[in-house]
Amino acid sequence: MDKKKKEYLKEKIIKDIEQLIHDIEDLKEKTKPIPPENSLGRLTRLEAMGEKSVNEAMLKNSEIRLKKLLFVKDRVNENNFGYCNICDEQINYERLKILPESTICIECANEIE
């Protein structure tokens, strides 16, 4: 992979990290416990609890992705960046543009699933 592509990916990783940090802060606010003294109707309370569950799942996934991006950010300039950890083939650049934290190629990912 050439230097220009690596620079693009590094910038994307940094932007994604910044966005995820912001998103995580928002999600932490949305996942705070719903106090029972709030005068919500029964259905509204159930909807709020359902929304809280969705936000908790999004928070967990965002935190996992943030850890992966922080890990890969330091590896962008290494020679083995962009190569599959399983088959050692180069990961498609288009895949890395979408998921720069990818450490395996699409073929190996499909075999795992």
Q: What is the mean pLDDT of the chain?
A: 90
pLDDT tier at 21 (50, 70, 90 boundaries)?
Answer: very high
* pLDDT band at residue 1 under the 50/70/90 scheme: confident
Averaged over 92-109, what is the pLDDT?
A: 94
* 3-19 residue pLDDT tens: 899 999 999 999 999 99
Task: Please say if the pLDDT value at position 37 is more than 70.
Answer: no
For residue 45, give the H/E element and its range: helix 42-73
- Token output for 7: 């620079």
